[in-house]
């Protein structure tokens, strides 16, 4: 029997019988509920992060149960291990789910967090084993960005004759103008917007608050939405949410993504909504904004996350240079003649 499953942490060093270990196994559902509560209350994880971690650990425990079913019942359990279970699970996730290095790193973060939780629950050694997991070196891929022509085509392609169309125009103008994450945008309330100064108060990852700015185009479409579309969407409902769905409730992340998917396909562009945020950051740096300011606007905890956009800007410069090089050669040859 797996040492990790038998005690969830499963790292006792004293010999115990399989039967007694079965009795000591805590209820998985209750354990996950306590773990999720810890993520929110003690580790102050964002709700989305806490749910992602909970799902990862549920997969881990399900995998362990599957491992147990395939083992010899009479085999003596090894009660000094633990790290093997973590490592084998990650290998399983890599091969079956084909996780990339970033997804593996997220899974390891969840397992480390779960190890700390188990340590506090009284399963000695859990943290040590989880902390020994080595995160893979991230393979940074330059984020996709739109050109100004593509952004204009995307936003201009949104019909604004209906309340939902007007909401969509205001919504995506606002995201492009402010660089907000999807979760940050859907959590905005009416009272978070300060039109006189074109500012908004945002709650980001880890429930951290920051002030962001938005431009006059976003301000124009937001005002139109609030005056012409939102009252019709709200109907008799009273909601503090800034962006509403067709039922008058707060717009969800899924609803926002589905709308964007349709609009982006119509414009002949990729369907990743995060590309608007990438484009916002890249345009700021290209316009001369300093890295620290961009970091604060994006809500990045670590400036190295923001630095990826400097590589994007350099890549665009190289592309423009390569495109212009034939013309420059032709111009030079003509002058020499």
pLDDT of residue 291: 81
pLDDT of residue 126: 53
pLDDT of residue 26: 58
Contact 35, 60 (CB under 8 A): no
pLDDT of residue 246: 93
Of 161, 110, 150, the C-alpha closest to 133 is 110
Contact 317, 301 (CB under 8 A): no
What is the per-residue pLDDT across 82-95, written as a single tens digit (0 to 9) for each?
Answer: 556 778 888 888 88
Name 25's Cβ contacts closer than 8 Å, sequence gap at least 6.
Answer: 5, 6, 7, 8
pLDDT of residue 320: 44
| pTM of the model as a whole | 0.61
Domain architecture of the chain: domains with CATH: 3-131 (no CATH), 148-319 (1.10.443.10)
Catalytic residues: 181, 205, 274, 277, 300, 309
Of 18, 116, 14, 15, the C-alpha closest to 6 is 18
Name 195's Cβ contacts closer than 8 Å, sequence gap at least 6.
Answer: 219, 222, 223
pLDDT of residue 75: 41
Of 60, 64, 68, the C-alpha closest to 107 is 60
What is the per-residue pLDDT across 116-140, written as a single tens digit (0 to 9) for each?
Answer: 888 887 765 555 455 556 655 555 5
pLDDT of residue 115: 82
> What is the pLDDT of the chain when averaged over all its residues?
77
What three-state secondary structure class fits 241?
strand
Q: pLDDT by residue for the chain (337 residues), tens digit each?
A: 444 444 443 332 323 333 333 444 557 888 899 999 999 888 888 888 899 999 999 998 888 887 655 554 444 333 223 556 778 888 888 888 887 777 888 888 888 888 888 888 776 555 545 555 665 555 556 678 888 899 999 999 899 999 999 999 999 999 999 989 898 999 999 999 999 999 999 988 777 888 988 999 999 999 999 999 999 999 988 999 999 999 999 999 999 989 999 999 999 988 888 888 888 888 888 888 888 888 888 888 777 777 777 766 555 545 543 444 444 444 444 545 4
């Amino acid at each position: 029997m797996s040492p990790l499953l038998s005690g969830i942490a499963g790292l006792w060093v004293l010999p115990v019988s399989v039967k007694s270990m079965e009795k000591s196994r805590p209820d998985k559902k209750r354990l996950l509920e306590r773990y999720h509560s810890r993520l929110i209350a003690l580790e102050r994880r964002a709700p989305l992060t806490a749910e992602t971690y909970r799902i990862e650990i549920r997969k881990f425990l399900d995998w362990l149960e599957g491992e147990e079913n395939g083992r010899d019942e009479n085999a003596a359990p090894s009660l000094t291990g633990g790290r093997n279970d973590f490592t084998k699970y990650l290998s399983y996730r890599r091969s079956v789910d084909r996780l990339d290095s970033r997804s593996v790193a997220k899974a390891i973060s969840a397992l480390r967090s779960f190890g700390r939780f188990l340590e506090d629950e009284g399963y000695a050694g859990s943290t040590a084993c989880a902390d020994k997991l080595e995160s893979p070196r991230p393979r940074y891929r330059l984020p996709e960005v739109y050109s100004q022509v593509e952004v204009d085509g995307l936003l201009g392609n949104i019909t604004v004759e209906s309340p939902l169309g007007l909401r969509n125009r205001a919504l995506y103008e606002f995201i492009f103008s402010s660089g907000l994450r999807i979760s940050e945008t859907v959590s905005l309330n009416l009272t978070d917007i300060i039109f006189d100064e074109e500012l908004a108060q945002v709650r980001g990852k880890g429930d951290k608050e920051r002030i962001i700015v938005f431009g006059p185009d976003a301000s124009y479409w937001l005002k139109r939405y609030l005056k012409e579309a939102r009252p019709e969407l709200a109907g008799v409902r009273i909601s503090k949410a800034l962006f509403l769905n067709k039922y008058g409730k707060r717009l969800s992340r899924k609803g926002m993504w589905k709308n964007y998917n349709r609009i982006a396909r119509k414009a002949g562009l990729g369907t990743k909504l995060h590309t608007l945020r990438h484009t916002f950051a890249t345009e700021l740096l290209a316009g001369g904004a300093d890295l620290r300011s961009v970091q604060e606007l994006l809500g990045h905890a670590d400036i190295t996350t923001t630095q990826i956009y400097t590589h994007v800007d350099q890549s665009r410069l190289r592309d423009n240079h390569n495109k212009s090089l034939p013309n420059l050669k032709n111009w030079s040859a003509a002058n020499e003649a």
